[in-house]
Amino acid sequence: MMTNIEHKKGGSMKRHLSFVHLYRFMNSIKTNGDKGGMMMKQKWKRKSYKGAVFLMALLFLSVSFNHVFAQPDYAKWGKIAVEETDKNYPDFDLVNYEYQGKVAIADNREQYTFLFTMDQDGTKKKVRAYVLINPAEDQLIEVQFEDMASSSP
């Protein structure tokens, strides 16, 4: 820690104080009953308190931002469902995407279900996509489609 003092040493107005010197200085102010020194000591405590609050806030924000930007477990399989839907329905534009849930079929099979609303020249079509995976190996097994209701404008 560097501090300005009234003492010249080597042409410089700065002198290095160790934490031990600083601690002794602060205690001497306390024992001498110097009111101005006590205010200085209170400011010192206040600054350390503010530093602790700042560090706690920083820790809280880093944990909460990590939670905010975490992706749900179905995001990977939803992306695959969108890609496969584009391949199977090339003339349609994807209008809406809805995750409908996950079902455990067996220990080595899970099914993620997505509902897509698609549009072709004003004609709406709903397609349900079933994404079968092996959760133990985090591997895609297959994607199946079911055409739902179509509607005209």
Question: Tell me, what's the pLDDT at 72?
Answer: 80
Residue 92 token pair: 């349609």
Residues 58 and 13 both lie in one domain: yes
Residues 61 and 86 both lie in one domain: no
Question: Tell me, what's the pLDDT at 80?
Answer: 94
Q: Assign residue 113 the CATH number of its domain.
A: 3.10.450.390
Residues 99 and 137 both lie in one domain: yes
Question: Tell me, what's the pLDDT at 143?
Answer: 96
Residues 80 and 147 both lie in one domain: yes
List, for residues 70-79, the tens digit of each pLDDT value. Answer: 678 889 999 9
Please give the Cα distance from 131 to 100 (Å, whole number): 11
Q: Which of 42, 68, 94 is the last residue of a domain?
A: 68
Please give the Cα distance from 131 to 145 (Å, whole number): 9
Residues 128 and 81 both lie in one domain: yes
Question: Tell me, what's the pLDDT at 73?
Answer: 82
Residues 106 and 53 both lie in one domain: no
Asked if 29 and 41 count as a contact pair (C-beta separation under 8 A), the reply is: yes
Q: Which of 68, 93, 108 is the last residue of a domain?
A: 68
Q: Which domain holds residue 37?
A: 2-68
Provide the 8-state DSSP code for 34: -
The domain tally of the chain equals 2
Residues 93 and 146 both lie in one domain: yes
Low-confidence ranges of the chain (pLDDT < 50): 1-15, 32, 34
Residues 60 and 89 both lie in one domain: no
Q: Which of 68, 83, 100 is the last residue of a domain?
A: 68
Question: Tell me, what's the pLDDT at 10?
Answer: 47
Residues 83 and 134 both lie in one domain: yes
Asked if 86 and 97 count as a contact pair (C-beta separation under 8 A), the reply is: no
- Helices 35-68 and 19-32: angle between axes, nearest 10 degrees: 130
How high is the mean pLDDT of the chain? 75
Residues 50 and 86 both lie in one domain: no
List, for residues 89-118, the tens digit of each pLDDT value. Answer: 999 999 999 999 999 999 999 999 999 999
